[in-house]
């Protein structure tokens, strides 16, 4: 250690304190570098040229942002795919309704009507599915459930056919109401989202466009068929057996038609899921390469760091020994 000039006791202690502070600071820096493997002094590590490092870190930040978007999109599409699986199961009951309509058993028709009413509630719940607090089928109105409560929609549908007993007139009226986009129709009275497409960037070169929402024809057709079957068994309508049979048969055809549309929708969503998975993989691969590049720029030589750390610890011990001899302090007092 460098000797102290004879400048008085006060000056000696000032110099000792300064040396102590410098050594402790250096020890802290070296300990950090030993732990992280990265240089603490970034400008020195880059030779004052921070451009390359800024470029790498900026790209990493961009990839992290895209990956967050992709993870959210992945969660949303997975939830939506699960909901569509349940919806497909409801639509696949079309043949069961048509088979029941061919029977002369009044109780069987009423049972199918009651089941359809329950399925209608389930369908609305599934269409109103959400992931991470966002409703997946509301267009850009992600904070609002896309459909009104099931009971409200059934009540609206029942109002459209109040007093009717002709099954052809009932099915025609329900078809017109569920298909209508104008005032007083399904879109106006029961749909609470919007039809705007959503766009999500999931990687620097991939954007997921989704225009699927609860107003899609396959969902409306499904709800129309279930409502048709449910209203066939409505006690207030008091429909005769023949009218019930015709309505439930028509409802079965609607469900079968909806089933085809739902299959196509699930296939499209599956392709989007694959694109998102691939984007996440590309982001991860590029991120790993950039992290290695950043480490190469900032990497601390472990042997040199360990040597400097050992030397600094020795210098601190020597400084303590010198100070202790001068002041007769204990180590505990010294490091306070």
- Range in 21-25, 96-100, 207-211 the model is least confident about: 21-25
Residue 105's pLDDT is what? 83
Cα 258 to Cα 278: distance, rounded to the nearest angstrom: 30
> Averaged over 241-251, what is the pLDDT?
94
Confidence of residue 72 (pLDDT cuts 50, 70, 90): very high
Backbone angles phi, psi at 206, to 5 degrees: -135, 125
What is the CB neighbour count within 10 angstroms for residue 48?
Answer: 8
CB contact set of 49 (below 8 Å; sequence gap of 6+): none
* CA–CA dist 271, 144 (Å, integer): 26
CA distance 63 to 282: 10
Is the pLDDT confidence value at 54 over 60? yes
Q: How far apart, in whole angstroms, are the C-alpha atoms of residue 290 and residue 59?
A: 8
Stretch 204-212: mean pLDDT: 95
For the chain, the domains span: 55-290
**Structure token pair of residue 328:** 């007769």
Asked if pLDDT for residue 95 goes beyond 80, the answer is yes
User: 140 - beta bridge partners?
Assistant: none
86/26: higher pLDDT = 86
Cβ partners under 8 Å of residue 319, min gap 6: 1, 16, 19, 20, 23
* CATH code at 55-290: 1.20.1330.10
Instruction: Provide the 3-class DSSP secondary structure of residue 306.
Output: helix
Tell me the C-alpha distance between 322 and 16, whole Å.
Answer: 9
What average pLDDT does the chain have?
Answer: 85
Beta strands 198-203 and 206-210, pairing class = antiparallel
Residue 159: predicted pLDDT: 95
Q: Determine whether 277 is exposed, middle or buried from the number of CB atoms within 10 Å of its CB (0-12, 13-18, 19+).
A: middle
Structure tokens at 66: 């895209």
Whether 204 shows a pLDDT value over 90: the answer reads: yes
């Amino acid at each position: 250690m460098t000797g102290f000039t004879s400048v008085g006791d006060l000056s000696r202690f000032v110099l000792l304190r300064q040396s102590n502070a410098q050594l402790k600071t250096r020890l802290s820096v070296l300990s950090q570098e030993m732990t992280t493997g990265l240089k603490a002094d970034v400008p020195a590590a880059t030779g004052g040229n921070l451009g390359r490092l800024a470029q790498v870190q900026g790209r990493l930040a961009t990839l992290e942002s895209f990956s967050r978007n992709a993870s959210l999109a992945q969660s949303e599409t997975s939830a939506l795919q699960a909901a569509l699986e349940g919806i497909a199961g409801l639509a696949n009951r079309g043949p069961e309704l048509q088979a029941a309509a061919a029977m002369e058993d009044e109780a069987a028709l009423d049972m199918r009507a009651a089941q359809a009413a329950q399925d209608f509630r389930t369908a609305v719940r599934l269409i109103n599915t959400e992931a991470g607090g966002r409703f997946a089928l509301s267009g850009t109105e992600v904070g609002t459930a896309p459909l009104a409560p099931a009971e409200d929609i059934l009540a609206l549908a029942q109002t459209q056919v109040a007093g009717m007993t002709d099954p052809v007139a009932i099915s025609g009226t329900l078809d017109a109401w569920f298909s209508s986009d104008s005032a007083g129709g399904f879109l106006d009275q029961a749909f609470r989202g919007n039809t705007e497409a959503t766009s999500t960037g999931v990687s620097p070169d991939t954007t997921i466009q989704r225009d699927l929402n609860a107003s899609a024809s396959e969902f409306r057709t499904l709800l129309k068929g279930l409502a048709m079957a449910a209203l066939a068994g409505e006690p207030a309508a008091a429909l005769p057996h023949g009218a019930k049979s015709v309505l439930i048969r028509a409802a079965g055809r609607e469900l079968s038609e909806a089933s085809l549309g739902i299959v196509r929708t699930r296939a499209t969503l599956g392709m989007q899921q694959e694109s998102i998975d691939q984007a996440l993989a590309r982001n991860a691969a590029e991120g790993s390469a950039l992290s290695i590049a950043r480490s190469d720029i900032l990497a601390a030589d472990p042997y040199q760091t360990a040597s400097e750390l050992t030397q600094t610890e020795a210098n601190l011990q020597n400084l303590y020994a010198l100070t202790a001899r001068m002041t007769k302090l204990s180590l505990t007092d010294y490091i306070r």
